[in-house]
Amino acid sequence: MKGTLDETPAGAMTARVTAALSRSRARDPERYTKLFEVRSISAGGHGSVYALLPKEIEAKVEQTTWQAYAHPAVTPPCVAAVAKLPGLLGIIPIAGLPADTKFTTVDHKNDGYCELLLEGDSPRRAVNFTTIILGPDDDGADIVYTLHPGDPIVPSELHGLEKGELRRGDVITLAYALERGFTYAKMV
């Protein structure tokens, strides 16, 4: 873990996460279901994943104890929490990869933010904790923005897909990805 555990009592943070999970499910059931599907290897998840079915991930996330977690990649108004829920880390820094590396562009969350997928033999690394990130909905109440095994990274701010500069499924080179400001790719 690269962040620090916060002094917020675990019971208080668990209650906050539980409320955000309930609110997220009630406000957008489809997006809520997708939170767990994209993290399941068996459901075709990419990046950091669990070797569990989506419903199993959901049950574990809802039943675990969460502790507040301060990490430099999570900035206000968002907050993070961690739990002892193991998974597989599937994010790789792209700097230093071979020059002929190619990536596929994706937008799994349909929010206009572009992410990169890297196919190949890079093994995922086991980690013993999960991070959940909460942030405000339109009314200011906490909802779940994301959850994943391992530490958070600074999220992509590249809106190439919504501006038409990139399309879902485009194959781009390492040089182009670095030029555009990408720093990480999700392993397939």
Domain ranges of the chain: 4-187
Q: Check whether 163 has a pLDDT greater than 60.
A: no
Side-chain-facing half-sphere of 71: CA atoms under 13 Å? 22
**Predicted pLDDT of residue 158:** 60
**Predicted pLDDT of residue 143:** 97
What pairs with residue 186 in β-bridges?
91, 117
Q: Check whether 147 has a pLDDT greater than 70.
A: yes
Residues near 151 by Cβ (< 8 Å), separated by ≥ 6?
Answer: 1, 2, 3, 71, 73, 131
**Predicted pLDDT of residue 45:** 83
Name the pLDDT band for 89 (thresholds 50, 70, 90).
very high
Residues near 111 by Cβ (< 8 Å), separated by ≥ 6?
Answer: none
Lowest-pLDDT range of 17-21, 27-31, 117-121 = 117-121
What pairs with residue 68 in β-bridges?
81
Residue with tokens 């033999």: 121
Report which of 124, 147, 127, 143 is spatially closest to residue 135, judged by C-alpha positions: 143
Which helix H or strand E contains 13, and what residues bound it?
Answer: helix 10-27
Q: Check whether 164 has a pLDDT greater than 60.
A: no
**Predicted pLDDT of residue 188:** 81
Which helix H or strand E contains 71, and what residues bound it?
Answer: none
Buried b (16+ CB within 10 A) or exposed e, 6-24: bebeeeebbebbeebbebb
Q: Mean of the pLDDT values across residues 167-175?
A: 83
Q: How far apart are CA 13 and CA 17, in angstroms?
A: 6
Name the pLDDT band for 111 (thresholds 50, 70, 90).
low
Name the pLDDT band for 32 (thresholds 50, 70, 90).
very high
Name the pLDDT band for 40 (thresholds 50, 70, 90).
very high
The encoded tokens of residue 98 equal: 């071979």
The encoded tokens of residue 178 equal: 């670095």
Name the pLDDT band for 181 (thresholds 50, 70, 90).
confident
Q: Check whether 4 has a pLDDT greater than 60.
A: yes
- Tell me the pTM: 0.86
